[in-house]
Amino acid sequence: MPDPCPILHAPGLIYSAPMTSPQHILEHVFGYTEFRGPQQQVIDTLMAGSDALVLMPTGGGKSLCYQIPGLARPGCGVVISPLIALMQDQVEALQAAGVRAAFLNSSLPFHEAQDIETALLHGELDLLYLAPERLLQPRTLGLLAQAQLSLFAIDEAHCVSQWGHDFRADYLQLNCLHEQFPNVPRIALTATADERTRGEIARRLDLESAQHFVSSFDRPNIQYRIAQKNNPRRQLLQFLRDEQQGNAGIVYCLSRSKVENTAEWLCQQGFDAVAYHAGLPANVRAEHQRRFLREDGVIVVATIAFGMGIDKPDVRFVAHLDLPKSVEAYYQETGRAGRDGEPSTALLLYGLEDVVKLGQMAAMSEGSEEHKRAERNRLNAMLGLCEITSCRRRALLRYFAEELAEDCGNCDTCLEPPQTWDGTQAAAKLLSCVYRTGQRFGAAHVIDVLRGSENEKVRKFNHDQVSTYGIGKELSANEWRGVVRQLVVRGYLEVEGEFQGLRLTESCRPLLRGEEPIELRKLPAQAKGAGAEPKRGAPAEILPADEPLWEALRACRKRIADEQGVPPYVVFHDATLRGMVSARPQTADQLLAVSGVGDSKLERFGEDFLAVLREFDTATNG
């Protein structure tokens, strides 16, 4: 394993804070010429010594909002981050840019932790990453009190909210920073928070008087697609083979056993897949995460324990094989795709069993009745997003109190508008059958009765004698499952008890009597991708004639990354390599003009990439 804090003694160009202006740092450390969105205003707020609360989508540039003022202000910036993997990821990227960054957590040997503490006290660090539980130890607070601090940054701030989806109890105590370090500016950042969660973050962290910056939640490069489960393994396999061959991605499952089984099955199908969940040994999790970050085309099959804050920019897809429990969770997890701004896909497959399972989990949770109701409301909002027949992106953004002026044109319902059918008669038949069979049997049994099955269970309960026996032969079992699911989602049926029995609700009466019509979404004839072209090889922006140079630059990046013990994107992002292909720089000054190339990376890696570019220039021009 590479030295976790090599910046303290690494060769190359190292920047020492305080530096010049934020603009100078943006250009010479991070290699960009312009700030995006509200970055400039957030940075100006911190530079003035004031606090800020920032809501910015994944990939929107949240990190620069505290990294740049952390470098520009005197002292060391302290970043509170919830995951060890996230800390290491960000520290590696900063060190590659020449920043004196380090982290303190349980993964470090005692003597290395001591070296970092000494560097902090001697003013030799610009950014220090800490987990909240480490920060709150009296010893750590005492250490920070002896150091000059430029700011506190509380990353993944939604973890403070008990209404949120990633609640961490340690975050509740972070208001002590305001009390113990009143003159050090604080910034809290998250990519996901509805208005209620946002209010709780501000209240619990004493940031109600801070300036709030809320960016657009829109991620236009992500194509949202949601489909009913209909042989989900086959659906996933077709998606991967048709569109994602050789791409890195994440497949989320609800249970650990499903994670392991799915990863094993994907390997059997020829994909490079690894499993990740909290029950695996720590060394196995670390190795699987390392492979995902540093190797091309690795698929991680994971529970939601994986991914929070992972900075890998080139995740081309996120697939859910089970329903997320809330829109916040869905947005957060799908947001791990396409952080580089390139076209990416979020595929969700869901079914009635997901609705039942998540409903039961919410009902059995240890929270208060108010908390359980909130969880149920969140689940209902997620189901509503699945069932909607209009633009999904507009509905998703509306949940976060943002209105999109027009349909996005890049979700399944825009690309392939769903067909509907008059389900009034079918719904009445189904509801009547639920009633006639006693309102205690699951969907499979009710469908068997409707379709006139002669199986043993139907005969055992004499359900071949009820008036609804055999009246639904016109629909397939799969189509009836779709009717059941939609009636449950819309509140006409409830699922109760250990055996998931269907029960009528009061709202079903007009439908049962035929007094109220209902339009139902048609099932597709077969599971298929909507509107996305297969993605193979070089990005669309790379012309066929430029593909050899593109691959040579990627090979150069991979070699350097392996030598440095870091993920390839820490060296340069794909967008920077594309800039090299487009501009064909031949000198150091020309390479420095490519977006994403800063002074430190130019000094450390520039000659390697220039050698590749010059070789291709010579071959092209003779």
Dump pLDDT digits (tens) for 11-34: 344 444 445 789 999 988 888 888
Alpha-carbon radius of gyration of the chain: 27
Cα separations (Å) of 253 from 85, 273, 323?
Answer: 20, 14, 8
With a cut of 50, say whether residue 9 has pLDDT above it: no
Q: What percent of the chain has pLDDT over 90?
A: 35
Contact 342, 535 (CB under 8 A): no
Answer yes or no: pTM beyond 0.85: no
What integer is the mean pLDDT of 442-471?
92
Cα separations (Å) of 43 from 9, 26, 31, 148, 208?
Answer: 29, 11, 17, 19, 18
CATH class of 420-521: mainly alpha
Contact 243, 534 (CB under 8 A): yes
DSSP conformational letter for 369: H
479 vs 451: CA distance, rounded Å: 11
315 vs 51: CA distance, rounded Å: 33
Q: Is the peptide bond before 11 cis (omega within 30 degrees of 0)?
A: no
CATH 3.40.50.300, the chain: domain bounds: 6-214, 222-415
Cα separations (Å) of 297 from 131, 271, 294, 458?
Answer: 30, 9, 10, 49
CATH 1.10.10.10, the chain: domain bounds: 420-521
Determine if residue 485 is left, alpha or beta; phi over 0 gives left, psi from -120 to 50 gives alpha, anything else beta: alpha
**7 band by pLDDT with thresholds 50, 70 and 90:** very low
Tell me phi and psi for residue 14, to 5 degrees.
Answer: -115, 130
SS3 143: helix
What value does the mean pLDDT of the chain take? 84
Kindly report which listed range (118-122, 543-547, 587-591) carries the lowest average pLDDT score: 543-547
CATH 1.10.150.80, the chain: domain bounds: 544-621
**How many contiguous H segments (helices) and E segments (strands) does the chain have?**
27, 17
- What pLDDT is recorded for position 307? 59
- What pLDDT is recorded for position 12? 40
Residue 266 identity = L
Sequence-ordered strand ranges (E) for 396-482: 420-422
With a cut of 50, say whether residue 10 has pLDDT above it: no
Choices 3.40.50.970, 3.90.79.10, 1.10.150.80, 1.10.260.40: CATH for 544-621: 1.10.150.80
With a cut of 50, say whether residue 115 has pLDDT above it: yes
What integer is the mean pLDDT of 244-254?
93
| CATH tag, 6-214 | 3.40.50.300
The DSSP-derived string for 260-319 is HHHHHHHHHTT--EEEE-TTS-HHHHHHHHHHHHHSTT-EEEE-TTS-TT---TT--EEE
261 vs 273: CA distance, rounded Å: 11
Tell me phi and psi for residue 376, to 5 degrees.
Answer: -65, -40
Q: Which strands sit side by side in the sheet containing 344-350, from one edge to the other?
A: 222-228, 344-350, 317-320, 249-252, 299-302, 273-276
Superfamily covering domain 222-415: P-loop containing nucleotide triphosphate hydrolases (3.40.50.300)
**274 band by pLDDT with thresholds 50, 70 and 90:** very high
